[in-house]
Amino acid sequence: MRINTVRLAWATGTLALLIGCSGTYSAGMDPANSAGAGGASAGGSPASKAGSSSTAGAIGNDSSPSGDAGDSSSSSSGTAGAPGFCGVALVSAPAPAFASPTVVAKRIRLFLTNGQGDMGAALPQVTTRDWAGALAISILDGQTNAPGMTRFMSSLLPGTPIASTWGGYFSVPGATLKDLLTSQTVLHPGAGILTDVAVLNKPGLHISGRGGYLMSHLVCRPAPLPPAGLPNPPAAMPGQTRRQQLEQSIAAPSCAACHHVLDPLGLGLEHFDTVGAYGDLDNGSTIDSSSSLDLSEGTITFADANEMGNKLAHSCEVASCVAQQMLADAEGSAALPQAGSTDPAAVAAIASHFNTAGGDLHDLIRQIVQSDTFLRAP
């Protein structure tokens, strides 16, 4: 069974939140500032995800040959003063022996192309990180849409009918996570994958459903399930927006904690209907799509979907979530043990570089194939 460590870390915090929080809640509002909320925050704290004592993937342009004991990688060992990313410590550790170039090249092909195509240029005598990264980028540069990236986007965005379109971004030099989250190429106006129909087409008032979907798949925080027997919201009054309907239906104190997690990202999409049509009015009243969300690095605020995508693209939690899911995909496609994707330190090492590179999608691919978990000898 595949374990999502980023989501697992947040599951504990979410459970505590659901047990401990109560208070009158309005959609998009921080229950910590409402009566009886007890100051709980769905954002948790960075410390809740820190400190796994395990070996992480070595990241960077290291030209050392296979198994060179002088090579090093990042790991989380609880070392005082060690640098970290999103609450996870990053320190150096010896790298493992690498698999042969033939084996690594096959893994890269399986990851990026589902095994399609030949090996291309002659292989080197020994495996190095530089070579593995360069091979991966050369494969991406030679295709407008790598089949493995379509597979990955189908997993990252379940239900999308255009996974190949989103996967194509990984073949574009200079394309970034921000492009994926704000692009208006597919839908104008739109906000990249945030306004994909897989996100927008949710039943009922759809604010909480959309928000829960994005929290699960982009932030890796599990979306709380609705309680059994939950009645349908009352019919809208004249001029009452969906947001106002939601606030009315979740006025009970027991609803505050769940909806503090579920609603913010859904509110940012309120200008879009279930098929992506843009509008400024809802039931004759002006739409308010502003909201805020507590993340590890602080609270982000946004006025609309595009600003929301821009803020999320710079979040360490989103970088970690996307990196974890891509590393799991790479391991699965290459029939590797789920060692790196279940190690918070290995994920943090990749996500840190990805984030520092401005969310460059080629950089994410490069860090994946240069990691210890991907290069390790059988």
Task: Tally the domains of the chain.
Answer: 1
Residue 180 placed within a domain: no
Query: CA separation (Å) from 172 to 78, 107, 146, 184, 360?
Result: 38, 22, 11, 16, 10
Residue 20 placed within a domain: no
pLDDT in tens, 146-197: 999 999 999 999 999 999 999 999 999 999 999 999 999 999 999 999 999 9
Q: Give the DSSP H or E segment for 31.
A: none
Query: CA separation (Å) from 258 to 15, 20, 29?
Result: 10, 11, 12
Residue 149 placed within a domain: yes
Give CA–CA dist 209/201, Å, rounded: 9
Query: CA separation (Å) from 256 to 22, 41, 311?
Result: 6, 11, 24
| 253 cis-preceded (ω within 30 degrees of 0) | no
Residue 136 placed within a domain: yes
- Side-chain-facing half-sphere of 290: CA atoms under 13 Å: 5
Residue 161 placed within a domain: yes
Q: Give the DSSP H or E segment for 256.
A: helix 256-267
Residue 327 placed within a domain: yes
Give CA–CA dist 238/153, Å, rounded: 40
- Residue-wise burial string across 342-375, b where 16 or more C-beta atoms lie within 10 A, e elsewhere: bbbbbbbbbbbbbbebebbbbbbbbbbbbbbbbb
Residue numbers in the chain where pLDDT is lower than 70: 1-82, 119-120
Query: What residues contact 303, with CB distance under 8 A and at least 6 apart?
Result: 289, 290
Give CA–CA dist 232/174, Å, rounded: 46
The whole-angstrom distance between residue 188's C-alpha and the CA centroid of its chain comes to 23
Predicted model pTM: 0.81
Locate the DSSP E strands across 84-216.
84-85, 88-89, 91-94
Contact present, 199 and 161 (Cβ < 8 Å):
no
Give CA–CA dist 202/214, Å, rounded: 12
Token duo for residue 272: 């879009």
Residue 300 placed within a domain: no
Give CA–CA dist 91/165, Å, rounded: 37
Give CA–CA dist 282/356, Å, rounded: 40
284 phi-psi bin (left φ>0, alpha ψ -120 to 50, beta other):
left
Full domain range(s) for residue 359: 106-175+315-375
Residue 340 placed within a domain: yes
